[in-house]
Amino acid sequence: MTLHQLARPYHPTAPTAAGVWKMLFDRQLALLHRRAHPAFAAGVAALGLRRDEVPTLARLGPLVYQRTGWTLRAAGGPLPEAEYYAALARRELPLVTRLRTFAEFDHPPHGVDLFSEVLGRLPLLFEPGYAQALETLGQTWALASTPAAAVLLRRFTRATFELGLLAPAGERPQFYGATLLTSTRHLHAAAAAEASQVQPLAGAAQQLRRLAVPTASFAAEASAQPYFVAQSWAELLEEIEQLRAELAHDQFSTAGSRVLSGPARGFAQRPAALRQVG
């Protein structure tokens, strides 16, 4: 079965929410067979996710908290970056609770919905190394005190928790990024990526600094960077810690410049565009 054979299904009438969930669930799990990191399948099983039941936070919330210590937080849409990262730092995971309609099957509003949130983010929380790295990423936002630092952190988040792969040295990379786990288009692109587009995670922050000025389009910016492969969850955490150290150094340098040159003008935060799946 090819990726092209698993396009949006034909339906003479608009399916119910349960029907939309079932079609999305069946298609994505078929595509992810042997492509997703084993922690994904283990997490799906631990959550009790099924094709014939649209999950609710009322059921998942207590289970996730009991097993991981993370709190699920319902959201009407993507949050501003500062609010989203602050929630992660508190071990809170904001989740959009609206499920896309059949008309939005491949393009949910703002690129995110209940399906992409639950299937793309919750299963990996049951992997302690992933959860610790995500919490540390949230804590890193406090150090993103300049526009350039915010751009770097945004790019790093996309390159890892949205489009990241993981594999021990010499093994086939497997998906753990939420966008790869839930977007057919991005999964297809990653599966077809040339070897030159897939690079080790080590030193990713320095490489992401060198990218051109960011665009307003997630797809355009994502296509301009390689896929980064971590060898382990420990390496992912190590790279985040390295990023924290670099941002702290930048923050210190900026503070020193302000002392010498006078108050600097603040910058307006850009609205969140982290979790566009589509």
Burial of 142 from C-beta contacts in 10 A (0-12 / 13-18 / 19+): middle
- Reported confidence tier of residue 180, pLDDT bands at 50, 70, 90: very high
Burial of 93 from C-beta contacts in 10 A (0-12 / 13-18 / 19+): buried
Q: Residue 91: what residue type? A: R
259: pLDDT strictly greater than 50: no
> What is the chain's mean pLDDT, rounded?
86
Q: State the total domains in the chain.
A: 1
DSSP string computed for 123-152: HHHTSHHHHHHHHHHHHHGGG--SHHHHHH
Instruction: Examine residue 270 and state whether it is found in any structural domain, yes or no.
Output: no
Instruction: Examine residue 273 and state whether it is found in any structural domain, yes or no.
Output: no
Range of the domain at 64: 14-261
- Reported confidence tier of residue 223, pLDDT bands at 50, 70, 90: low
82, containing H or E segment: helix 81-89
Residue 275: its pLDDT value, please? 52
Whether the full predicted model's pTM is greater than 0.75, yes or no, is yes
Given 3-state DSSP classes, what are the helix, strand and coil percentages for the chain, each rounded to the nearest 5?
A: 55, 10, 35
Instruction: Examine residue 269 and state whether it is found in any structural domain, yes or no.
Output: no
How far from chain centre, in Å, is Cα 154? Answer: 11
pLDDT tens-digit readout, 92-119: 999 999 999 999 998 888 889 999 999 9
Q: How many CB atoms lie within 10 A of CB 101?
A: 15
Under 8 Å between Cβ of 54 and 82? no
Instruction: Examine residue 204 and state whether it is found in any structural domain, yes or no.
Output: yes
pLDDT tens-digit readout, 241-257: 999 998 998 776 666 55
Instruction: Examine residue 120 and state whether it is found in any structural domain, yes or no.
Output: yes
Under 8 Å between Cβ of 244 and 136? yes
Under 8 Å between Cβ of 54 and 99? yes
Instruction: Examine residue 21 and state whether it is found in any structural domain, yes or no.
Output: yes
Q: If you search the block for the tokens 């990023």, which residue do you land on?
A: 243
pLDDT tens-digit readout, 23-41: 999 999 999 999 999 999 9
174: pLDDT strictly greater than 80: yes
Query: Among positive and negative, which fits the CA dihedral 160, 166, 170, 171?
Result: negative
Instruction: Examine residue 3 and state whether it is found in any structural domain, yes or no.
Output: no
- Reported confidence tier of residue 260, pLDDT bands at 50, 70, 90: very low
Three-state SS sequence of 165-232: EECCCCCCCEECCHHHHHCHHHHHHHHCCCHHHEEECCCHHHHHHCCCCCCCCHHHHHHCCCEEEECC
271: pLDDT strictly greater than 80: no
Residue 109: its pLDDT value, please? 83
pLDDT tens-digit readout, 69-92: 999 999 999 999 999 999 999 999
Under 8 Å between Cβ of 9 and 25? no
**CATH code for position 48:** 1.10.800.10
Instruction: Examine residue 6 and state whether it is found in any structural domain, yes or no.
Output: no
